[in-house]
Amino acid sequence: MNSELRDLYQDVILSHYRQPKNWGDLPDSNANAEGFNPLCGDRISVFLRVKDGVLEDIRVNGCGCAISCASASMMTEAVKGKSVEEAEVVFEQFHRLVIEGEAQEDDDSELSALAGVHEHPVRIKCATLAWHTLRAALRNEKQVSTE
């Protein structure tokens, strides 16, 4: 594998892709949204159980490429247990990471592995699909598209 590919497909990304976390349905969810990437046809669903402003549980279902699955899986770990406000902050940080390639200084979280996506503009929407879907669910919008 050449270095460029190694940056994009880091081990953490591949392992989340192979064994995504918090995958499946959430029967007692009280918020959800469906995300769609018209560019590639990928669809993703995010289910949440929010109680007293806290994201108690989250599940993701359906996925596409390695980047979108890994990003979704890491996202669930990054926001689970956080308050809705904190989740919005994580969203903003992630957005800056992949759009601007700008990592938080003290960021040693797995999410930083997705910084490589910044070098592949056509893949940015793959990485952000789950996140936009999460935000739509938090804001009670049922559907979101990366168009």
Partner 1 sequence: MKIAAFPIQTVQDQFPILDRTVRGRRLAYLDNAATSQKPIRVLEKVDHFYRNYNANIHRGVHTLSQEATKEYDDARETVREFLNAGEARQCIFTKGCTEGINLVAQAYARPRLKAGDEILVSTMEHHSNIVPWQIVAEQTGATVRPIPITEDGEIDLDAYQAMLSERVKVVAIVHVSNSIGTINPVKSMVAMAHAVGAIAMVDGAQAGPHLPIDVQDVDADFYTLSCHKIYAPTGVGVLYGKTDLLQSMPPYHGGGDMIRTVSFSGTTYADIPSRFEAGTPNVAGVIGLGEALKFLMGLGRSRVFEYENKLARLAEVKLTELGGIRIVGNSKEKAGIVSFVMERAHPHDIGSVLDSYGVAIRAGHHCCMPLMERFNIPATARASFAVYNDEHDVDALVQGIRATKEIFG
**Interface ranges with partner 1 (CB under 8 A):** 1-2, 4-5, 8-9, 14, 17-18, 39-43, 64-67, 120, 123, 126
Q: Which is nearer to partner 1, 7 or 110 (CB)?
A: 7
**Toward partner 1, which CB reaches closer, 43 or 96?**
43
- Cβ 140 to partner 1, closest distance in Å? 27
Nearest to 13 by CA among 127, 114, 98: 114
Q: How far is the CB of 123 from partner 1 (least distance, A)?
A: 6
CA distance to 9, 107, 124, 126, 145, per residue, from 58 (Å)? 25, 23, 23, 19, 20
Residue 64 vs 93, nearer CB to partner 1:
64
Nearer to partner 1, 8 or 138 (CB): 8
Q: Are 124 and 117 in contact (CB under 8 A)?
A: yes
With beta carbons less than 8 A apart as the criterion, state whether 69 and 127 touch. Answer: no
